Amino acid sequence: MLCIIGTRPEAIKMVPVISAIANCPNLHAHVLMTGQHRDIASNALESFDIHQINWLDVSSTSHRLADQAGELLKGINAVHHPKYALVHGDTTTGFVGALASFYSAIPVGHVEAGLRSGELQDPFPEEANRRLADQLCHRLFAPTSIAKDNLLREGLSNEKILTTGNTVVDAVRHLAQKIKPARELDELKGVLGQQKRLVLVTTHRRENWGDPMRHICQAIKRITEALEDLQVILPVHPNPVVKDMIESELKNTPRIHLVTPLSYEALIALERDADLILTDSGGIQEEAPEFGTPLLILRKTTERPEALTSGLAKLVGTCEQTIIDEAAHILKCKHTQIDRQNPFGDGHASQRIAAAVESHINSAD
């Protein structure tokens, strides 16, 4: 069978599934990486001792989504045809992987199916990618009951849907047991001050490019200037649109540490040890609840309402003053983690997915 992966977040969430498949005696997973986030994605796979990776190097360097999708479709279609394929989430790779499998009459399962913001343009193009992939897939692995209900409302068959939990919880629990405190990691001990409180910031999403990201940066600067006992660490996404904006707004600002993309272990350590997280990342919305770290979501909408309804996160958008006010409200208090159960899973999602795939392949044989 074939596991199709594009970005580092996909790699992180698919790694536990690949490991679970490896424990099934009749299954073997071939990993196809489409070349996005090549270095940091392979690092995530290697964190789980997965080193055999087939790379698909697409020739297009265009940032146009149609160009990327066309190159990916040709490339994935050229790969040998497996008995089963797995795609993940809401990326162009996930959608095109499902489309290529559908065209070749290969059963395809969608890991993390059914998430919806309710706004086709937000997040863009992820909301459309996820909806389209769900229509093409043989099996829909919904992480939560809310995701399953979304699929049922769209008329998808109950027989296609399996509620599994989110595989990122499996990944986080596996790694968190063995990761040292963030300030003791080689990547971070020369960056982080021991006595300062810590805020982790990540921002990269396409809908925040331009003025929204500028407002985020300005809010971060003002928060840091107002609180002298605070330090901010911001891993800068390699996309030039993001990198140029963040560096122009925040470079050389005291106590704001702009760093290159971190290993997944270091990122998890920061999520665990931070006093506050500001992010537009979908994955971090699911990971942070594992540690109870206060979380502000830098988006207008989220397709992960479970974190909001459980009280583990708050949607604040990209208004500069709103971000400042909400962050200040949390940072008035000393860091106290919120002790609530992670609404995204119990750590066994990957085994459920592997068992379902094994059952399908065995019945087909």
User: Burial of 121 by CB count in 10 Å (0-12 exposed, 13-18 middle, 19+ buried)?
Assistant: exposed
- 114, 113, 117: which is closest to 305 by C-alpha? 117
Spot the catalytic one: 174, 206, 222, 335: 206
Catalytic residue among 110, 130, 131, 204: 204
Residue whose token pair is 């489309």: 99
Q: What is the 3-state secondary structure (H, E, C) of the chain?
A: CEEEECCHHHHHHHHHHHHHHHCCCCCCCEEEECCCCHHHHHHHHHCCCCCCCEECCCCCCCCCHHHHHHHHHHHHHCCCCCCCEEEECCCHHHHHHHHHHHHCCCCEEEECCCCCCCCCCCCCCHHHHHHHHHHHCCEEEECCHHHHHHHHHCCCCHHHEEECCCHHHHHHHHHHCCCCCHHHCCCCCCCCCCCCEEEEEECCCHHHCCHHHHHHHHHHHHHHHHCCCEEEEEECCCCHHHHHHHHHHHCCCCCEEEECCCCHHHHHHHHHHCCEEEECCHHHHHHHHHCCCCEEECCCCCCCHHHHHCCCEEECCCCHHHHHHHHHHHHCCCCCCCCCCCCCCCCCHHHHHHHHHHHHHHHHC
Q: In what order do the strands lie in the sheet with 197-202?
A: 256-259, 230-235, 197-202, 276-279, 295-297, 313-315
237 is catalytic: yes
Q: Which of 37, 116, 139, 237 is the catalytic position?
A: 237
Q: Is 122 labeled as catalytic in the residue annotation? A: no
Known catalytic membership, residue 204: yes
Active site residue 81: no
**Could you confirm whether 119 is annotated as catalytic?**
no
Distance CA 8, CA 108 (A): 21
Set 10, 71, 112, 280: catalytic member = 112
- Exactly one of 90, 271, 280, 303 is catalytic; name it: 90
User: Does residue 30 carry a catalytic annotation?
Assistant: no
Tokens 């506050």 — which residue? 276
Known catalytic residues?
Answer: 90, 112, 126, 204, 206, 237
